Structure 1
Amino acid sequence: MIMELLQSPLMQRALLAAVLVGITAPAIGIYLVQRRQALMGDGIGHIAMTGVGLGFLLNSSPVWMATLVSVVGAVSMELIRSYGRMRGDVALAMLFYGGMSGGVLLINLSPTGSNANLSSYLFGSLATVSQSDVTAICVLAAFVILVTLGLRRQLFAVSQDEEFARVTGLPVRVLNLLIAVTAAVTVTVAMRVVGLLLVSALMVVPVAAAQQLTKSFAVTFVLAVVIGTAVTLSGTITSYYQDVPPGATIVLLAIVVFVALTALAAPLARRRARVARAAEAGGGPGVPATRRPVESAGT
C-alpha cells in the first residue's frame, strides 16, 4: 500500500508539499503566537486571494502572484499595526475583506477561473498540486526555513519584548517586517495543501499543542514542527484514500493532537507539583521527603 502510494506522481508531489508545509507553518507560527498575532495568517490568507485571482486573470502562476500580493499585504498590516491608533483595526478589517472580495471577483472575471479553482485554493486540493507548484513551494519553503532558523535568536527577542530588543540594538522594525513577510510566504507555501482559509490553524495549533508539554522555546519549536509534519502527512494520506478534503483533515488531526496533549499535560503538571512540594518539604530538589532520612543515614 505504501509502495503504491509512493509510485503515484500525484502523491509524490503532494507528500513533498505536505512535509514542507508541516515544517514551515509551525516554524513561523511560533513567533506569531509569541507576539499574540495568532490570526495574522488568516488575514494574509484573505489578502492572498487577490493574488490568486490576478494570477488567473493575467494567465500567470497563481502561487507566485499570491506571494507578491501577500507580501505587500503583510507589510501593510505591519505598518498599520506599528503606526495605527484607534482606527487601526478598521483598516485591517477592510484590508482582509477587500482582499478576499477582490480575489473572488478576479477569479470569476478570468477566462480560466471557476468555482472549482476557487475551492481548491480556499480549502486545498491534492489533485491540483502541479510540478510548477512544487518547485515554487520548495523555493519559498527554503526561504522560510532559513529565516526562522538562521535568525531565531533575533526573532525570538523581538517577539518576546520589542522594547528590550530595541535597547539591545536590534533593528526591531526590520525584524517585524521580516516576520510579516515570512508569514506571507508561508501562507502561499501552504495554500495548495491546506487552503487559504485554514492555513492559520496550521501555524497556531501545532505550537499550542507543543506548549502543553514544553516550556523551553527551542523544545517547543522542534515539537511543533514534528507535530505539524505528522499531521500534514497523515492528513494527506487520509485524503488520498478516503477522498476527503486535505486541508480540513489536516486541521482536524492537529486539533485532535492538541486535545490529547492537553489531557496528558494536566496529570503531568499535577505530578510535577507534587514532586516540587515534596522536594521543598524534604529540603532538597527533586527528592521526596520520605526518602531524605534514608539517604542521610547512608552518607
Structure 2
Amino acid sequence: MIMEFLEPAFMQRALLAAVLVGITAPAVGIFLVQRRQALMGDGIGHVAMTGVGLGFLLNSSPVWMATLVAVAGAVLMELIRTYGRTRGDLALALLFYGGMAGGVMLIQVGGGSNANLLSYLFGSLSTVSDEDVTAIAVLAAFVVLVTVGLRRQLFAVSQDEEFARVTGLPVRAVNLLVAVTAAVTVTVAMRVVGLLLVSALMVVPVAAAQQLTRSFRATFVLSVVIGTAVTLTGTITTYYQDLPPGSLIVLLAIGVFIVLTALSAPLARRRARAAEAASAACDAQVPLTRRPADDVTV
C-alpha cells in the first residue's frame, strides 16, 4: 500500500510533529539569520539538555521541563549579549557547555539510559508520545502566533535596532521575545531532529529560500515550505529505511540548499541582463521637447 506509513499510531504522531517542526523552525530562523545569530539555536539546544535531565530526575515531562530551562537560558543569553561586553563570549561558552554536561549527568542520575540521551540529542520519531505531541502543538501555536502576528516588529528590530528604537519600538522587549521564541522552537524540534541538529533546521531552509527570493515575505513562505517538505520526506523515509531521522532531515535540507544555489546562478545572470536591457532602453528613449520659439523664423 502506498499510504501504509499512515497506519501505525507512532507514525501519525511523528508526521504531525514533523509538520509542526517544519513550520516553526524556519519561521523563527529567518529572524535569527537577519540578526546574524544563526548559531543561537545550537546554544539553546545545549542549555535545554539540562531541562531534559531535570525531567528525568523529577519524573516529569522532559519537553515541558526543557522548555522552562531553555527559555531561562535564552533570556540569560540575550542579557549577556546586551550587557556582557568583553566577557560575554566566555559567559556564553560556560552556559552552553555547562548546560550540556549538566543535562547528561542529570539523565544518568535520574535513571535514564544512553538510548534516552541519544533520542533527545539526535531525535527519535518512534518514541514521540501523545503527551509529546500535545506539548509540541501548544508550543508551536505560540511560535506561529508570535512570528506571524508580530512579524513587522520582529523584522524591524532584526534589520536595524537603532532605527527601530528611534521609531519607538520596545527593542529590548522584542529582543527578549525573539530569544524566548527561539527557545520554544528548540524544544518543539528536539523530538524530531534532536537538540544538536535543531539549529540547522532553523537556518538551512532560510538560506536555501534566499537563493531564489528577494523579499522578506517570499523568503518566509518558501523557507517554511522547504522546512515542511524536508521534515515530512525525512520522516516518511525513516519508516522504510533504518536511518536516523534528525540527520536525514538536515541532510535533505542541505541538499535543497545546494540545488537552489545551483539554480540561482543562471537566474541571477538572467536578472542582471534584464536590468541592463531595461537601463539601456531607458537611456535610448530620451524625451525630446519642442518649445514654441523653435518654430519661429527670425
Name the residue aligned to 2:262: 263
CA positional deviation for 1:36: 0.2
Structure-1 separation of matches of 2:90 and 2:239? 41
Q: Does 1:123 pair with 2:119?
A: no
Show the 5 A alignment for 1:212-231. 212-231=211-230
Q: Which amino acid aligns with 2:79?
A: L
Gaps of 5+ in 1: 293-299
Structure-1 separation of matches of 2:269 and 2:103? 50
Q: Deviations over 1:251-284 (max 9, x none)?
A: 0000000000000000000111111112212227
Show the 5 A alignment for 1:70-149. 70-111=70-111, 113-149=112-148
CA RMSD across the alignment: 1.0
What TM-score, normalized to structure 1?
0.94
Name the residue aligned to 2:18: 18
Q: Which amino acid aligns with 2:131?
A: S
Structure-1 separation of matches of 2:278 and 2:133? 54
Q: Does 1:65 pair with 2:42?
A: no
Structure-1 separation of matches of 2:3 and 2:238? 17
Structure number with bigger Rg: 2
Structure-2 separation of matches of 1:45 and 1:166? 30
Name the residue aligned to 1:33: 33
Q: Which amino acid aligns with 1:125?
A: S
Q: Deviations over 1:209-255 (max 9, x none)?
A: 00000110000000000000000000001111101010000000000
Name the residue aligned to 1:244: 243
Q: Secondary structure at the match of 2:139?
A: helix
Name the residue aligned to 1:55: 55
Name the residue aligned to 2:7: 7
Structure-2 separation of matches of 1:157 and 1:172? 9
Q: Which amino acid aligns with 2:233?
A: S
Q: Which amino acid aligns with 1:201?
A: A
Structure-2 separation of matches of 1:157 and 1:92? 26
Q: Which amino acid aligns with 1:254?
A: A
Q: Deviations over 1:57-96 (max 9, x none)?
A: 1000000000000000000000000001111011000000
Structure-1 separation of matches of 2:25 and 2:227? 8
Structure-2 separation of matches of 1:158 and 1:234? 34
Q: Secondary structure at the match of 1:86?
A: helix
Q: Which amino acid aligns with 2:86?
A: M
Aligned pairs, number: 285
Q: Deviations over 1:151-187 (max 9, x none)?
A: 0000000000001111111111110000000000000
What TM-score, normalized to structure 2?
0.94
CA positional deviation for 1:189: 0.2
Name the residue aligned to 1:295: none
